Amino acid sequence: MSNIGLGNFNAANKAEANQFYKDVGTLASEYGVSMNLITFKGDEANIEALQNMCELSGGEVEIMDIGNASDMIGNMFDRKTIAVNVEAQVKLHKALEFRNESANLMSHNRKTLVKKLRNVDADTEFTFEYRLRSLDELVEMEDIDMNTISKFLFQTQITYTLPDKKKYMKVIT
């Protein structure tokens, strides 16, 4: 519980508690553990700090209506993990850039996005948005002629471990 004991969010140690949950999320990520948060609509929990912990570890936040909590919790336990240590790496054409993605997930001049999905089930989704770079940036690129280019290729590389403990990579171009 985030309201008592270790990680307590009282007024005196809110910054310390935020750092505690960030550290927990980072540590979980390093060990391949995803952390999920279950909370109820209208609850006064400090979702921001706890959500950060979940995101760092590749987990999710479930906000439930108290009226159907038992059904939702039952559905969560019915989900079977199909792969662990899942990481998706998306590489864009140099004329493209990602939209609405955290800068700490990107590299190579905003052309590569690395997302650690951790444990996935059949319902896990991974989405991203991209756009054409600004006209000023495109003009500076000497090796791109916008009058002749007809395709902007990108590639997704997904690495994962199956229950048989073998590691795999799937490449989609």
Specify the pLDDT at position 172: 96
Nearest to 88 by CA among 112, 109, 65, 70: 112
Strand partners, 63: 39
- CATH class of the structural domain 81-172: mainly beta
Strand partners, 33: none
- 90 exposed, middle or buried (CB, 10 Å; 0-12, 13-18, 19+)? buried
| Distance (Å, whole) CA 34 – CA 38 | 13
| Distance (Å, whole) CA 46 – CA 164 | 38
pTM check: above 0.85: no
Specify the pLDDT at position 90: 97
Instruction: For the chain of 173 residues, list the mean pLDDT of each consecutive stretch of 10.
Output: 61 76 85 80 72 81 78 71 90 93 84 87 89 90 86 94 92 95
Nearest to 17 by CA among 49, 62, 40: 49
Extents of the domains making up the chain: 11-78, 81-172
